[in-house]
Structures are given as C-alpha cells and as structure tokens.
Amino acid sequence: MAGALSAFMIGFIAPNNYAFSESLILVSILLLGGIGNPWGLALASAIVIVLPEKLQTIQEYRFLLFAAMVILILLFRPAGLLPRPLRRLKT
C-alpha cells in the first residue's frame, strides 16, 4: 500500500529515488512503533518525522538520534512504543 501511494505521489519509481538513509528511517519507524501495531507506527512516524523538523539545530545528528532511540526502545520496550495487547485463547 505504501509503495503504491509513493509511486502515485512521485509519478515514477526508480532505484535511485530512494537512498540508504530513507531505508534507515523506515526501519527505525518500524522498530520504534512495534511490528503489527498501526497506532504505534503512527506515533513513531510522528516522532521520527516531526522531531528533526523541530530540532533543526541538530539536523546533522539525526541518524545518531534515531540510532539511540532504536537502541533504547529495543532494550527497554522490545514490543515498541505502544505494544498491542496479547490475544487470549478461548478454551
């Protein structure tokens, strides 16, 4: 779905449209938000996109900030910022 929306917005998809830094941003959003949790991904997207815009003075340290956030989340909240509740089996 995201790829189709990206192609619609850009108009043409080519390998040089995406850099390694954009891949790192997407992976950090996925790890921060938690896999399979749309609310966590929305929160992580807002943090990863809005935080560097608000802190323009440290723009060159953006990837260092992302790496620190990912490491802290993986250490202290491995399920993501907003972990989804576990399903209980009905027996």
Q: What would the pLDDT profile of 36-61 be if each residue is shown by its tens digit? A: 778 888 888 888 888 777 777 777 78
Q: How many domains does the chain have?
A: 1
Q: What is this structure's pTM?
A: 0.66
Residue 82 has pLDDT above 80, yes or no: no
Residue 30 sits in which domain range? 18-76
User: Would residue 90 count as lying in a domain?
Assistant: no
pLDDT at 69 over 70: yes
SS3 71: helix
CA 60 to CA 64: how far, in whole Å? 9
Is residue 91, in this structure, part of any structural domain at all? no
Has residue 32 been placed in a domain? yes
Give the tens place of pLDDT for each residue, 18-39.
788 788 788 888 888 887 778 8
What phi and psi values does residue 81 have, to the nearest 5 degrees? -65, -45
Q: For residue 48, tell me if it sits in a domain.
A: yes
Task: Specify if 67 maps to a domain.
Answer: yes
Is residue 34 assigned to a domain? Answer: yes
